Amino acid sequence: MKHFLKKLGFHKPDEMERHIVFRAQRNSYIFLVAALLVWSLCESYRAYVYHTRLNLVPCMLLTAAALIQTFSQLIMTRNAVKDDEDSFETAPLLKLIILVCAVTSVIATIGAAFLLMGVRA
């Protein structure tokens, strides 16, 4: 089975291959975030100018991508230094969770205010 997987190209990458994969993933992530940002701005502009309904899909995808990337980075950093007594890298995770909850609460409050005032999106 191991030989079959190696023939298909599945193997443990060396340091150079990991570096190449990391750079490729970083480039694709930057492209996707930029594309979602442009898409979100275009949708917002179209909703504002033409008074159409706002498409929230690009906004939600952009927010989800940013949150997943941030949480993944914090969890990996936390796991990498969890046995190190001199490191204080575990504290930002709790702070970030509190920040996300606060921002979500503010957005929900603004959304509820718009709904109660009768503003169309």
Q: Any idea where the domains of the chain sit in the sequence?
A: 13-117
Q: What is the pLDDT of residues 70-105, one digit of tens each?
A: 778 877 877 777 777 666 655 666 777 777 887 788
pTM of the model: 0.61
Distance between first and last Cα of the chain: 56
Residue 78 CB coordination number (10 Å): 15
What type of residue is 46? Answer: R
